[in-house]
């Protein structure tokens, strides 16, 4: 069987991880519990959910594989089956007194995954209300991007194929004769020149993207500013009516995604004002907007990402003008395409030797603040209702990892006519994350008022 090495981008995510900055994605699913069964049924629906997840995960090949270093190429890593795979080391039943599952999710998001095991976990949160429970899914970014993680998680729910779509097959390097290699040399050189040209173009775009100007101190998680404490996490979520978002879109123009990003910009401005921070000035923080390069949703695991870089216009006081500024910036990004521009830094991973990822991973992680200031990502969900053991998923909050030196990451998804914002923050730098969630609500209310 051919060795399946991690792709350059997957390897980059694996190498830049640290104890204080774990590189896993999360999704917090809130369930309405199904009616209890007869005698002998589990006392709490969460117990039944944990039993089902433990049973089903063993049938999903993509969840039974771990990452191991290999001798060649130097610095590379590859996937291998876990011969001692045990669902009990991945699925956990957590009893909590917190009525809001986000409170329990924060400490769990701060805890790195065990790198000796297949890099994923599911924490079933049994709260005080027997009518509801939640599940926090954690997938390492080396295992999947948001859409890939969705394909893996979907295999655990009712009515889905228990085996997710296969990863892209490994491509072993065939033995070549000198003559055949020479015949292919002109094409290989042309491709290499094209790759180098793309890398130089992205590098130039990063330089033109500018320095971190107009970045509020609240978006910086510096150990010196946080009293030496970093690595803790706090999580908050907010659900908004998609009909209201569409009302703004129709009234002001642009796309739903433009509105969702503009809501983040407006909420940040409101939140900073509520904290008594200085009024925003300058061009504003640089938001990295990941862009999927998949041919179809959920097609395989691993990462197929590029991105856009967008200045969030926090200094603009008018909500509609902020939205128009976001729309214009996103239109410029789309005109350039996802393989060009400062946001396409993920593509540079393809031009780094595996040994470079291994030796330079910590340096790359430290450099995140030079590239962008905040992550704002969207995870599309299929227009389906998910259930687990008959319990219906009511809400889905995507959660993104925090880069070194950054205090906040924002992820958003739409499920069953509702927009769900998942906020992850460094707890020491952002002790008032719930206030930011409230500011998102206030910003949408104001935009609806202005377009009505």
Note the pLDDT of residue 60.
94
Note the pLDDT of residue 351.
72
Q: What would the two tokens of residue 21 be?
A: 């900055």
Note the pLDDT of residue 43.
67
Note the pLDDT of residue 233.
95
- Give the integer Cα–Cα distance in Å for 113 and 24: 8
Note the pLDDT of residue 209.
57
Tokens 């707890």 correspond to what residue?
A: 427
* Cβ atoms 364, 207 nearer than 8 A: no
Note the pLDDT of residue 150.
81
Note the pLDDT of residue 302.
67
DSSP H or E segment with residue 46: helix 45-57
- Give the integer Cα–Cα distance in Å for 286 and 60: 38
Note the pLDDT of residue 439.
98
- Give the integer Cα–Cα distance in Å for 219 and 309: 16
Tokens 């410029």 correspond to what residue?
A: 332
Note the pLDDT of residue 449.
97
Q: Which of 390, 41, 446, 402 is nearest to 231 (CA)?
A: 402
- Beta-bridge partners for 307: 290
- Give the integer Cα–Cα distance in Å for 90 and 48: 16
Note the pLDDT of residue 50.
96
- Give the integer Cα–Cα distance in Å for 298 and 319: 35
Note the pLDDT of residue 441.
98
- Give the integer Cα–Cα distance in Å for 67 and 437: 36
Note the pLDDT of residue 292.
82
Q: Summarize pLDDT for 23-74 with one digit per residue, the tens.
A: 999 999 999 998 765 555 556 899 999 999 999 999 999 999 999 999 989 9
> Where does 287-383 have alpha helices with state H?
319-336, 354-366, 368-371
* Cβ atoms 373, 219 nearer than 8 A: yes
The alpha-carbon radius of gyration of the chain (Å, integer) is 22
* β-pair type (408-415, 374-378): parallel
Cα angle vertex 32, ends 29, 35, to 5°?
Answer: 140
Give 273-308 as a DSSP string.
HHHTPPPP-SS-PEEEEEEE--SSTT-SSB--EEEE
DSSP H or E segment with residue 451: helix 433-451
Average pLDDT taken over every residue of the chain: 85
* Cβ atoms 220, 369 nearer than 8 A: yes
| 343, burial (CB in 10 Å: exposed 0-12, middle 13-18, buried 19+) | buried
Tokens 């540079």 correspond to what residue?
A: 348
φ, ψ of residue 148 to 5 degrees: the values are -65, -40
Detail the DSSP E strand segments found in 3-55: 4-5, 24-32
- Give the integer Cα–Cα distance in Å for 228 and 93: 32
Note the pLDDT of residue 225.
45
User: How much is the pTM?
Assistant: 0.87
Note the pLDDT of residue 174.
40
Residue 13 half-sphere exposure, CB side, CA atoms within 13 Å?
26
Please tell me whether residue 183 adopts helix, strand or coil conformation: helix
| 132, burial (CB in 10 Å: exposed 0-12, middle 13-18, buried 19+) | buried
Start-to-end Cα distance in the chain: 62
- Give the integer Cα–Cα distance in Å for 72 and 3: 11
Distance from CA of residue 11 to its chain's centroid? 16
- Residues in the chain with pLDDT values less than 50: 162-178, 180-182, 185, 187-196, 198, 224-229, 296-300
Note the pLDDT of residue 296.
45
φ, ψ of residue 229 to 5 degrees: the values are -105, 115
* Cβ atoms 377, 408 nearer than 8 A: no
């Amino acid at each position: 069987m051919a060795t399946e090495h991690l792709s350059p981008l997957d390897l980059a995510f694996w190498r830049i991880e640290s104890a204080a900055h774990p590189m896993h994605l999360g999704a917090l699913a809130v369930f309405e519990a199904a009616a209890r069964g007869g005698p002998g049924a589990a006392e709490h629906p969460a117990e039944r959910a944990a039993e089902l997840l433990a049973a089903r995960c063993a049938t999903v090949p993509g969840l039974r594989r771990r990452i191991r270093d290999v001798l060649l190429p130097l610095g590379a890593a590859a996937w291998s089956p876990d011969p001692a795979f045990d669902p009990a080391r991945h699925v956990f039943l957590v009893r909590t007194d917190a009525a809001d599952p986000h409170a329990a999710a924060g400490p769990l998001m701060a805890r790195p995954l065990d790198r000796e095991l297949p890099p994923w976990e599911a924490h079933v949160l049994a709260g005080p209300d027997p009518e509801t429970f939640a599940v926090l899914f954690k997938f390492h970014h080396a295992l999947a991007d948001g859409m890939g993680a969705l394909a893996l998680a979907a295999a655990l729910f009712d009515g889905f194929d228990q085996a997710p779509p296969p990863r892209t097959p490994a491509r072993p390097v065939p033995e070549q004769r000198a003559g055949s290699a020479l015949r292919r040399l002109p094409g290989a050189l042309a491709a290499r020149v094209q790759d180098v040209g793309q890398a130089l173009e992205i590098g130039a775009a990063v330089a033109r993207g500018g320095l971190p100007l107009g970045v509020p101190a609240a978006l910086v998680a510096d150990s010196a500013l946080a009293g030496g404490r970093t690595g803790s996490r706090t999580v908050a979520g907010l659900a908004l009516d998609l009909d209201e978002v569409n009302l703004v879109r129709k009234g002001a123009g642009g796309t739903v995604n433009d509105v969702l990003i503009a809501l983040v910009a407006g909420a940040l401005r409101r939140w900073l004002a509520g904290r008594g921070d200085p009024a925003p000035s300058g061009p504003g923080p640089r938001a990295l907007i990941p862009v999927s390069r998949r041919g179809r949703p959920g097609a395989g695991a691993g990462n197929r990402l590029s991105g856009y870089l967008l200045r969030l216009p926090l200094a603009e006081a008018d909500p509609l003008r902020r939205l128009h500024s976001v729309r214009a910036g996103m239109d410029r990004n789309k005109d350039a395409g996802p393989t060009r521009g400062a946001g396409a830094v993920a593509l540079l991973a393809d031009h780094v030797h595996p040994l470079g990822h291994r030796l330079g991973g910590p340096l790359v992680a430290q450099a995140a603040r030079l590239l962008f200031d905040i992550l704002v990502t969207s995870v599309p969900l299929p227009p389906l209702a998910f259930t687990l053991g008959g319990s219906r998923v009511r809400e889905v909050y995507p959660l993104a990892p925090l880069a070194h030196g950054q205090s906040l990451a924002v992820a958003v998804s739409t499920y069953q006519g509702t927009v769900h914002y998942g906020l992850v923050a460094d707890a020491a730098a952002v002790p008032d994350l719930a206030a930011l969630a409230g500011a998102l609500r206030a910003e949408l209310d104001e935009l609806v008022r202005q377009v009505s």
